[in-house]
C-alpha cells in the first residue's frame, strides 16, 4: 500500500520535499526533519478554529497536528497538506472601503488570496490566477463578478442575477418590502401608462423608479414623470432604452438603512450604514433588528442563493425590507469581517464539495 504523503513547500526557492506517513511515527523526528512544532490534535472531525473542515488524515493511528514555527510566516517554511485550506479568495483591488481590513482577516484565518483589476481579467485566462475548477470565492464589483461566473471556479461568485431581480424575489418577500405596492414594466410602457400609474399612487408627478435588475444599470431614485414624459426624455435621463424593465412605486421617506449578510436563512452579520443622508458604519450585534430579520427569514421559505445581502430600512417608524443584493459585490460597511470570511468559506466549500463528491 502506498504511503500517504505530506508536502514540504519552501516558497522562497520553490523547493518541494515529500515525507511519507511512515516518517510521522515520531513527532520528535518530524520536528527535526521538517522544522514543525507539535500543537495537539484537531480531534476526529478535523475542524479548524474558523469552523472549516480539514481534509481527513491517513487512516490508522497517525493523527499528528503541527503548526509552522513563527519564523516560517514570511514564506520560508511550509504547512502540511492537511492544514492547507481549499477555499481561495479573489479580491478586486481599490474597490472596497475595508479592502485592507478584509485582506488582513483572510491572512489571519490562513486563506490563500490574490488581488486583481477588472481590466486585467479575462475569464478564458482565469487559470493564471487559480487552476480550473478550484474552489474560489470573489469579492468586488458586479461587472467583474459577472466575468468570474464565466470561469470554471466553484462557486466563483455569489451574485445570482436571475434570483436577485425584483421580479423574482418580490414574489417571496413582497409583504415585508418598503415598496410593497408597485408596477414592473418597461420604460416604454411606463411612459404610455404614465397617467394611470400617477393616479394609482396619487402622485403629482414624482415616483420612485429602479431597475428590475440587480446589476445597477442606472441609479435608482425619484423622478418626475410629468417632466420626463416621453420615452426619449426618460430614456436619456436613465441612459436606458425603452425595453429596460423597471420597478415603479410611490415615494417613501427613509430615516435609517442597515445591511445584513445572510447564509441561507441565518444572519451572519449586520451594520447600520445610513442615518438620513449621513454615512454611519456601526456593527449590529443582536437586538430588535436581528430579531425582526430572523422572523422574516423564518416566514419566507426561499432564498436567492446560499449567501446574499439584505438591506433593511426604517420609514415612518416602521421596519421594512429595502432590497436583496449579492454577497460577492455588496459593500461591507461596518459588518464583522471575520464572520463574513468564515461564512463565505463555509458556503463556498459546501458548493465545491457538492459538485466534486
Query: How many other CB atoms sit within 10 Å of the CB of residue 193?
Result: 14
- Indicate whether 111 and 143 sit together in one domain: yes
pTM above 0.85, yes or no: no
| CA 82 vs CA 8, 64, 66, 136, 252: distances in Å | 12, 10, 10, 18, 54
Q: Name the pLDDT band for 65 (thresholds 50, 70, 90).
A: very low
Same domain, yes or no, for 68 and 54?
yes
User: What are 315-352's pLDDT values in tens digits?
Assistant: 999 999 999 999 999 999 999 999 999 999 999 999 99
Exposure class string for 92-110: b at 16+ Cβ within 10 A, else e: beeebebbeebbebbeebe
Tally of domains in the chain: 4
CATH of residue 237's domain is: 3.30.1490
Residue 346 domain flag: no
Reply yes or no on whether the pLDDT at 284 is more than 80: yes
| Residues 100, 66 share a domain | no
The per-residue pLDDT for range 297-310, each reduced to its tens digit, is: 999 989 999 999 99
187/232 same-domain check? yes
- Residues 71, 110 share a domain: no
Residues 227 and 270 in one domain: no
- Whether residue 348 lies inside any domain: the answer is no
Domain boundary among 30, 61, 83: 83
Q: What angle do CA 351, 354, 357 make, to 5 degrees?
A: 140
Asked if the model's pLDDT at residue 46 lies above 90, the reply is: no
Phi, psi angle pair for 10, to nearest 5°: -105, 100
Joined together, the cell numbers standing for residue 318 give: 416602521
85 band by pLDDT with thresholds 50, 70 and 90: confident
Determine how many CB atoms are found less than 10 A away from the CB of residue 9.
16
- pLDDT higher than threshold 70 for residue 25: no
CA distances from 15 to 21, 67, 77 (A): 20, 19, 10
**Quick check: is 357 in a domain?**
no
Q: Cα-atom radius of gyration of the chain, to the nearest Å?
A: 25
Residue 23 lies in a domain: yes
Model confidence at 255: pLDDT above 90: yes
Q: How many CB atoms lie within 10 A of CB 310?
A: 25
Identify which of 6-20, 21-35, 41-55, 170-184 has the greatest average pLDDT. 170-184
Mark whether 260 and 331 lie in a shared domain: yes
State which residues form the domain around 303.
256-339
Degrees, nearest 5: CA angle 228-231-232? 85
Residue 353 counted as domain residue: no
| Residues 78 and 109 grouped into a single domain | no
Last residue of a domain, one of 227, 249, 271: 249
Residues 10, 61 share a domain: yes
Please give the average per-residue pLDDT across 70-91, as a whole number. Answer: 58
Instruction: Note whether residue 347 is domain-resident.
Output: no
Average pLDDT over residues 177-191: 97
Q: What CATH number did the domain enclosing 279 receive? A: 3.30.470.20
Higher pLDDT, 22 or 132: 132
pLDDT (0 to 100) of residue 104: 97
Residue 14 has pLDDT above 90, yes or no: no
Is 93 in the same domain as 60?
Answer: no
Last residue of a domain, which of 35, 60, 83?
83
Task: Classify residue 184: in a domain, yes or no.
Answer: yes
Residue 9 has pLDDT above 90, yes or no: no
Burial class for 88, CB neighbours closer than 10 Å (0-12, 13-18, 19+): buried
78 plus 92 within the same structural domain: no
User: For residue 314, which of 335, 336, 334, 292 has the smallest C-alpha distance?
Assistant: 292
Q: Say if 133 falls within a structural domain.
A: yes
User: Which H helix or E strand runs over 61?
Assistant: none
Whether 79 and 102 map to the same domain: the answer is no
Count of beta carbons in the 10 Å neighbourhood of residue 155? 27
Amino acid at each position: 500500500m502506498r504511503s500517504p504523503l505530506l508536502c514540504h513547500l519552501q516558497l522562497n526557492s520553490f523547493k518541494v520535499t515529500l515525507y511519507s506517513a511512515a516518517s510521522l511515527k515520531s513527532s520528535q523526528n518530524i520536528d527535526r526533519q521538517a522544522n514543525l512544532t507539535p500543537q495537539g490534535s484537531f480531534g476526529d472531525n478535523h475542524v479548524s478554529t474558523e469552523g472549516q473542515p480539514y481534509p481527513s488524515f491517513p487512516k490508522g493511528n497517525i493523527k499528528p497536528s503541527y503548526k509552522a514555527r513563527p519564523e516560517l510566516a514570511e514564506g520560508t517554511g511550509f504547512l502540511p497538506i492537511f492544514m492547507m485550506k481549499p477555499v481561495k479568495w479573489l479580491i478586486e483591488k481599490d474597490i472596497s472601503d475595508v479592502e485592507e481590513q478584509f485582506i488582513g482577516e483572510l491572512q489571519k484565518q490562513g486563506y490563500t488570496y490574490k488581488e486583481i483589476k477588472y481590466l486585467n481579467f479575462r475569464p478564458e485566462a482565469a487559470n493564471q490566477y487559480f487552476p480550473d475548477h478550484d474552489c474560489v470565492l470573489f469579492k468586488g464589483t458586479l461587472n467583474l463578478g459577472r466575468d468570474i461566473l464565466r470561469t470554471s471556479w466553484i462557486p466563483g461568485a455569489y451574485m445570482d442575477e436571475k434570483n436577485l431581480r425584483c421580479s423574482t424575489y418580490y414574489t417571496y418577500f413582497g409583504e415585508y418590502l418598503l415598496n410593497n405596492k408597485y408596477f414592473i414594466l418597461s420604460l416604454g410602457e411606463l411612459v404610455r401608462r404614465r397617467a394611470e400609474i400617477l393616479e394609482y399612487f396619487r402622485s403629482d408627478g414624482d415616483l420612485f423608479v429602479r431597475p428590475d435588475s440587480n446589476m445597477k444599470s442606472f441609479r435608482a431614485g425619484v423622478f418626475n414623470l410629468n417632466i420626463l414624459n416621453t420615452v426619449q426624455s426618460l430614456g436619456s435621463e436613465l441612459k436606458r432604452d425603452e425595453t429596460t424593465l423597471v420597478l415603479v412605486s410611490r415615494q417613501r421617506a427613509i430615516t435609517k438603512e442597515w445591511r445584513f449578510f445572510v447564509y441561507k436563512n441565518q444572519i451572519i452579520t449586520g451594520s447600520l450604514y445610513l442615518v438620513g443622508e449621513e454615512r454611519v458604519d456601526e456593527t449590529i450585534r443582536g437586538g430588535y433588528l436581528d430579531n425582526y430579520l430572523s422572523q422574516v427569514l423564518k416566514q419566507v421559505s426561499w432564498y436567492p442563493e446560499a449567501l446574499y445581502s439584505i438591506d433593511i430600512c426604517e420609514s415612518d417608524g416602521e421596519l421594512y425590507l429595502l432590497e436583496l443584493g449579492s454577497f460577492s459585490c455588496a459593500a461591507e460597511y461596518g459588518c464583522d469581517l471575520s464572520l463574513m470570511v468564515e461564512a463565505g468559506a463555509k458556503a463556498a466549500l459546501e458548493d465545491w464539495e457538492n459538485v466534486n463528491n
